[in-house]
Chain A
Amino acid sequence: GAVVSQHPSRVICKSGTSVKIECRSLDFQATTMFWYRQFPKQSLMLMATSNEGSKATYEQGVEKDKFLINHASLTLSTLTVTSAHPEDSSFYICSASIEGGPYEQYFGPGTRLTVT
């Protein structure tokens, strides 16, 4: 149980284009989803927290107009990287948690974004 999927697993796009990454909870309803970014050989940095039906809460330093997050349903959240640039190349990981705890987050397998 508690499986989270991400699609695509890997994407290469040209500079200036937009890329959408999907995060789905497959066998549970996720009231909260999280988006992380991980640089090579570094830890995960929380980008934003999204609750179903409301606007995402972005961490300091994360541009909300560049990283658009939509949490349209209890099983789906999307991250759109708009006007991507090479510096946006990274490993993006989503996670989901279930309302009421025990606060465990279930992580997706990640999406490797390469902007050329």
Chain B
Amino acid sequence: AQSVAQPEDQVNVAEGNPLTVKCTYSVSGNPYLFWYVQYPNRGLQFLLKYITGDNLVKGSYGFEAEFNKSQTSFHLKKPSALVSDSALYFCAVQTGANNLFFGTGTRLTVIP
């Protein structure tokens, strides 16, 4: 069975500082990994994905994530946080059948 864990419900970071939102996964077979962002009362917006290839994936809005197979992690990072990055972030894993399994979400607050 597949699962995704986001160990932090809340992450606070000062504007301009680097940010990390953590994600670990458990899946049989090769995972497809995704990060999505959700703003209040909105659907999810795609940030980036890892399917295969380079472990460092670059996505929208300056975000990137590193696939670490040995640690089964896919942490989301950004070198310099913006206040507008404040939102709810979801990590998700997909295996065959196109089904996405989401983590519980991490609320990122960037403090001016």
| A46 contacts B99, C-beta separation under 8 Å | yes
Which residues of the other chain, B, contact A109 by a CB distance below 8 angstroms?
42-43
Report the minimum CB–CB distance from A11 to chain B (whole Å). Answer: 13
Contact partner of B43 (CB less than 8 A), chosen from A46, A93, A97, is A93
How far does the alpha carbon of A112 sit from the alpha carbon of B42 in the complex, in Å?
10
| B102 contacts A104, C-beta separation under 8 Å | no
* Nearest opposing residue in chain B for A10, CB measure: B41
| A110 contacts B51, C-beta separation under 8 Å | no
Which residues of the other chain, A, contact B97 by a CB distance below 8 angstroms?
49
Identify whether the interface residues of A are mostly helix, strand, loop, or mixed. strand
Q: Any chain A CB within 8 A of the CB of B94?
A: yes
Which residues of the other chain, B, contact A43 by a CB distance below 8 angstroms?
90, 102-105
Which residues of the other chain, B, contact A4 by a CB distance below 8 angstroms?
43
Identify whether the interface residues of B are mostly helix, strand, loop, or mixed. strand
Could you say which interface size class chain A belongs to?
A: 20 to 34
Q: Any chain A CB within 8 A of the CB of B34?
A: yes
* Nearest opposing residue in chain B for A6, CB measure: B43
On chain B, the number of residues with a Cβ less than 8 Å from chain A's Cβ atoms is 22
Which residues of the other chain, B, contact A105 by a CB distance below 8 angstroms?
46, 98, 100
How far does the alpha carbon of A7 sit from the alpha carbon of B105 in the complex, in Å?
25
| A49 contacts B46, C-beta separation under 8 Å | no
> In the complex, which residues 76-94 of chain A have their Cβ closer than 8 Å to any Cβ of chain B?
91, 93
Given contacts A43-B104, A43-B105, whether A110 and B98 have CB atoms under 8 Å apart is no
Task: Give per-residue flags for B81-111: 1 if the beta carbon is below 8 A from chain A beta carbons, else 0.
Answer: 0000000001000100111111111000000
Q: Any chain B CB within 8 A of the CB of A35?
A: no
Q: Any chain B CB within 8 A of the CB of A67?
A: no
Known: A103-B32, A103-B51, A107-B45. 14 other contacts (CB 8 A): A43-B102, A44-B102, A46-B99, A46-B101, A49-B99, A91-B41, A93-B43, A103-B94, A103-B98, A104-B46, A105-B98, A106-B46, A107-B36, A112-B41
